[in-house]
Amino acid sequence: MDTKWIEKIVDRYGRDKTRLMDILIEIQQEKGYIPSDTLPVIARMTGISQAWVEQTVSFYHFFRREPSGRYAVFLNNSVVANMMGRDKVARTFEEETGCQFGEVSEDGLIGLFDTSCIGMSDQEPAALINGKVFTRLTPFRVREIVRNMRAGKPVEELSTSGYGGGSNALPLIRAEVRNNIQRKGPLLEENYETGTVLREKLRLLTPEEVIWEVKLSELRGRGGAGFPTGLKWEFCRRAKGEKKYIFCNADEGEPGTFKDRVLLTEYPGLVFEGMALAAYAAGASEGILYIRYEYKYLERYLNHVLEEMRKNNLLGKNIAGIEGFDFDIRLQYGAGAYVCGEESALLESAEGKRGEPRFKPPFPVEKGYLGRPTIINNVETLCAAVKILYFGSEWYRTMGTENSKGTKVLSISGDCRYPGIYELEWGYTVNDILDMAGADDVQAVQVGGPSGTLISPEEFSRIICYKDLATGGSFIIFNNRRDILRDVVHNFMEFFIEESCGSCVPCRNMPWLLKQKLEKILSGHGVWKDLEDLEKWPEIMKINRCGLGQTAANPVITSLRNFRALYEEKIQKGRCFDEGFDLEKAVEESCEVVGRIPLI
Amino acid sequence: MNNEYITITIDDQEIKARPGEFIVAAARRNGIYIPTLCNMPGVHPAGSCRICTVYVNGRPMTSCTTPVAEGMEIETRSPDLEDFRRSVVELLFVEGNHFCPACEKSGNCELQALGYRLEMMAPRYPYQFPERDIDASWPKLIKDHNRCVLCKRCIRTILDEEGHHIFAFRYRGHNLQITIDPEYGKNLTDELAEKAAKNCPVGSLLYRGKHGFETPIGQRKYDKEPIGSDVEKLKKAKVS
């Protein structure tokens, strides 16, 4: 076998086992899958065992072990995709190609696969075909696309729908993705020129003063967990270590969020400047944007923006003329794993391993990437930090509520007239937001994605803020025609089953068991005891290691709490089924006869 | 600094702990048994089975991964913790295919011993009866995926002299399984194979070089006394 091409790739990454993700992504892109005979070569060259290479390969959804077709179609199967007509689109794909989802057509031309939310909930149904995004799919367009595949057209020419607005139309992106920015606030307002803070402000401020300003603003992490950003930067600054890292977490995988997609498309300079700002504050020299594979279509553009910033002395050596301020950024792509949005799993992945969350302590600010102090911030957090340094923490604190300062970018999708991203001050009620998005006849809203809360109209006066309804930004609306249990809860449980890393026993098993129960109830065979179990069983989820595991039963927990009637109407009532075995009762009579006292 | 101690409280009892050691180890030295499964003394913890979860200042934390800190208040025995532990064991029993009477590890199996110790009756969850393979293709080992609890002990402890991992995970979530490296597995030494089988808490890895039933069932380690007894004896010794 010719192994030269593999060796070339591995050599390009310095035979470094911590760059395994990049090596595998290149092989995947070159061949369309990871051929088995590449594994021993990679293992030998990077000095790890073949089993260890396969451990990483088999963890990620987009690393395929078999040929996946010259055109590999990954059709999103998220709840919003289904609501927007995915079923018809999927059936058309199957009819036109003659193969089922999970298969490759006989001639090896087209492969059809499911995939979790790809960050296009405002324009579903959507699919990735060889890494290119196709949105707003209809059966008509599917027929057209498959026809073009059969004609052997390059993936760029499969569609005739034109390019989306803004940067999406740039030659380096050329995506049909639309931004759908519905409401701008101070973060999205174009009143700022990239690099101004680095050029004009940092010269006058010590790192401690930068941290102080961010602390004063009361900015908290926008990824969902809400940790105070200034404090995180301070911890990292204080941590001992010669080399420190700044990570930007752009692995937004929570179904229903897509705000980071828009931020990276329209404001990449702001994101990178935020990373440089954090680097200045913490004394870090290297930055990594960890970005999900689904956003591979932005790669060339983002690299171009980085190159421009280097040219303008906003990255590189002595940034903005500040002696000793050296910092540069590279992209690190994932390969399809929701759990890698968890910061320590993200680090594992960036080090070339399976994305299994680490246990804490130690926290990444002390021991992060390659064991060194590391800050991991959400895309939106970093953008906000730049604006805070520019306009001042006072200004920032004038927005929001008592406990939640500033603004939040929401990703709104589902049953509404104006899906898209909305930048809002913290403090709006759910009702306000539904009004804004043009949503009528609303049955339920999923706030914070599947790991968040499903709320009913009774709670629509609740407030979006850290103290009440905290959210990383996903806001999915369901109208009264939706079957909450079948369409929503069941879909979410399948998502968590698919995306668990499998390390913790409860997270590996409980979602599966809950899904079985739910299916029993949906099929009409449920009894009261099943509802009791659904209430009690998930309690154990709180002992899982990471945020995914701890919240993976939330769809069941919150729907049962807020939509109990939907469950009750489906179960068998007034009938007595065998609900288990009572040992004591069973031996009662025989004990009496022989005069034995049972031990239990 | 190494001979300095810090004070922590476990179940209302003040004990002295060594800075940097994990809670589970500090507890053990003081005769307090916190049930564990994936943990192995002296081996970097995995924190994956979650059985050793305790409340540290009110928050659930795995005691095998959490280092002690001055003034920590630890609760190991609340009814909900006991129930979580039993629940984890039950989940493992329904997840795989564990037929104790036919298993050559019976009586030496930590999962089985935990089942007894935690007073598990029938699992509350439905058995899944998954279809799983027995891999008998290796010269020194038999790997039975039916019994695997995915504790990572083999992954963590069986490495060759150059630090190559011989065992690894494959896939994720519900499909997670253990694999053996094709090259290193073929050339595995008797010493490492025996160690792998010994470190496996269940009967998932069996060493071919020995007869599995030389010690009859009924006379094995946990047939004689419950798991954790060795730890609790320390306390009794101290008291008397």
* Residue finishing a domain among B45, B77, B109: B77
Say if A587 falls within a structural domain. no
Interface probe, candidates A509, A518, A525, A581, chain B, greatest B C-beta count within 10 A: A509
Question: Above 60 in pLDDT, residue B176?
Answer: yes
Give the separation between CA A221 and CA A229, rounded to whole angstroms.
6
Interface probe, candidates A543, A545, A584, A587, chain B, greatest B C-beta count within 10 A: A543
CB contact under 8 A, B175 and A503: no
CATH code for the domain of B193: 3.30.70.20
Say if A195 falls within a structural domain. yes
Does one domain contain both B127 and B71?
no
Does one domain contain both B206 and B89?
yes
Q: What is the pLDDT of residues A548-598, one digit of tens each?
A: 999 999 999 999 999 999 999 999 987 766 666 778 888 888 888 998 887
Give the separation between CA B94 and CA B132, rounded to whole angstroms.
13
Question: Above 90 in pLDDT, residue B238?
Answer: no
Is B80 an interface residue toward A (CB < 8 Å)? yes
* CB-CB contact of A413 with A400 (8 Å): no
Q: Which of residues 8-27 of B touch A (CB under 8 A)?
A: none
Name every chain B residue with its beta carbon within 8 A of the beta carbon of A583: 121
Exposure string of A135-159, with b = 16+ CB inside 10 Å and e = fewer, is bbbebebbebbbebbeeeeebeebb
Does one domain contain both B66 and B142?
no
Does one domain contain both B23 and B121?
no
Does one domain contain both B29 and B69?
yes
Q: Which of residues 204-233 of B touch A (CB under 8 A)?
A: none
Spell out which chain A residues touch chain B, with contact meaning CB-CB distance below 8 angstroms: 40, 47-52, 54-55, 58-59, 337, 354, 359, 361, 497-506, 508-510, 512-513, 516, 533, 537, 539-540, 542-545, 581, 583
CATH code for the domain of A89: 3.40.30.10
Give the separation between CA A434 and CA B185, rounded to whole angstroms.
59
**In B96-228, which residue ranges form alpha helices assigned H by DSSP?**
110-117, 153-157, 182-186, 190-199, 221-224
Does one domain contain both A420 and A542?
no
Name every chain B residue with its beta carbon within 8 A of the beta carbon of A499: 173
Residue of chain A whose alpha carbon sits nearest to that of B152: A503
The closest CB to that of B169, out of A354, A497, A512, belongs to A354
Does one domain contain both A331 and A359?
yes
* Residue finishing a domain among A344, A371, A397: A397
Does one domain contain both A370 and A235?
yes
The pLDDT of residue B209 is 87
Say if B237 falls within a structural domain. no
Residue of chain B whose alpha carbon sits nearest to that of A529: B124
Is B126 an interface residue toward A (CB < 8 Å)? yes
Does one domain contain both B70 and B179?
no
Say if B239 falls within a structural domain. no
Angle at Cα B193 formed by Cα B191 and Cα B195, nearest 5°? Answer: 70
* Residue finishing a domain among A482, A509, A524: A482
The pLDDT of residue B1 is 46
Domain assignment of residue A118, given as a range: 71-161
Say if B1 falls within a structural domain. no
Is B91 an interface residue toward A (CB < 8 Å)? yes
Name every chain B residue with its beta carbon within 8 A of the beta carbon of A544: 50
Q: In angstroms, what separates the C-alpha of A540 from chain B's closest C-alpha?
A: 6
Number of structural domains, chain A? 5
The closest CB to that of A504, out of B50, B87, B183, belongs to B50
Chain centroid, CA A362 distance in Å:
24
The pLDDT of residue A1 is 72
CB contact under 8 A, B174 and A499: no
Name every chain A residue with its beta carbon within 8 A of the beta carbon of B50: 504-506, 543-545
The closest CB to that of B171, out of A58, A509, A533, belongs to A58
CATH code for the domain of A437: 3.10.20.600
Name every chain B residue with its beta carbon within 8 A of the beta carbon of A34: none
* Residue finishing a domain among B61, B77, B93: B77
Chain centroid, CA B45 distance in Å:
10
Q: In angstroms, what separates the C-alpha of B125 from chain A's closest C-alpha?
A: 8
Say if A42 falls within a structural domain. yes
Is B125 an interface residue toward A (CB < 8 Å)? yes
Is B44 an interface residue toward A (CB < 8 Å)? no
Regions of chain A with pLDDT less than 70: 576-580, 599-600
Does one domain contain both A476 and A496?
no
Does one domain contain both B104 and B177?
yes
The string of DSSP letters for A51-66 reads: HHHHHHHTTSTT--SS
Does one domain contain both A457 and A535?
no
Does one domain contain both A234 and A346?
yes
Does one domain contain both B113 and B191?
yes
Does one domain contain both B145 and B41?
no
Does one domain contain both B106 and B71?
no
The closest CB to that of B60, out of A47, A54, A543, belongs to A543
The pLDDT of residue A598 is 72
Q: In angstroms, what separates the C-alpha of B220 from chain A's closest C-alpha?
A: 25
Would the ipTM clear 0.90, i.e. be above it?
yes
Is B53 an interface residue toward A (CB < 8 Å)? yes
Mean pLDDT within B5-16:
95
Number of A to B CB contacts under 8 A, please give it.
Answer: 129
Give the separation between CA B166 and CA A48, rounded to whole angstroms.
10
pLDDT-derived band at B240, boundaries 50, 70, 90:
low
CATH code for the domain of A275: 3.40.50.11540
CB contact under 8 A, B88 and A540: yes
Give the separation between CA A488 and CA A567, rounded to whole angstroms.
13
Does one domain contain both A187 and A285?
yes
Pairing of strands A374-378, A245-250: parallel
CB contact under 8 A, A55 and B169: yes
pTM of the model: 0.95
Does one domain contain both B72 and B89?
no
Say if B231 falls within a structural domain. no
CB contact under 8 A, A508 and B95: yes
Q: What percent of chain B has pLDDT over 90?
A: 90
Question: Above 60 in pLDDT, residue B2?
Answer: no
* CB-CB contact of A383 with A274 (8 Å): yes
DSSP state of A123: G
Q: In angstroms, what separates the C-alpha of B232 from chain A's closest C-alpha?
A: 24
Name every chain B residue with its beta carbon within 8 A of the beta carbon of A495: none
Among the listed residues A301, A29, A299, A347, the one whose alpha carbon sits nearest the alpha carbon of residue A172: A301
CB contact under 8 A, A543 and B50: yes
Does one domain contain both A431 and A521?
no
CATH code for the domain of B72: 3.10.20.740
Say if A427 falls within a structural domain. yes
Does one domain contain both A467 and A531?
no
Does one domain contain both A117 and A242?
no
Residue of chain A whose alpha carbon sits nearest to that of B174: A508
DSSP state of A569: T
Say if A595 falls within a structural domain. no
* Residue finishing a domain among B46, B77, B108: B77
* Residue finishing a domain among A360, A377, A397: A397
The closest CB to that of B167, out of A51, A501, A542, belongs to A51
Number of structural domains, chain B? 2
CATH code for the domain of A557: 1.20.1440.230
Question: Above 70 in pLDDT, residue B143?
Answer: yes
The closest CB to that of B173, out of A47, A502, A537, belongs to A502
pLDDT-derived band at B211, boundaries 50, 70, 90:
confident
* CB-CB contact of A272 with A315 (8 Å): yes
Does one domain contain both A305 and A354?
yes
Domain assignment of residue B67, given as a range: 6-77
Q: What is the pLDDT of residues A283-293, one digit of tens each?
A: 999 999 999 99
Pairing of strands B141-144, B205-207: antiparallel
Residue A138 vs residues A290, A530, B145: alpha-carbon distances, Å = 32, 39, 44
Say if A174 falls within a structural domain. no
Say if A597 falls within a structural domain. no
Does one domain contain both B198 and B94?
yes
Does one domain contain both A265 and A361?
yes
Instruction: For residue A260, count CB atoms less than 10 angstroms from its CB and return exposed for 0-12, middle for 13-18, buried for 19 or more.
Output: buried
Chain centroid, CA A573 distance in Å:
40
Name every chain A residue with its beta carbon within 8 A of the beta carbon of B165: 48-49, 51-52
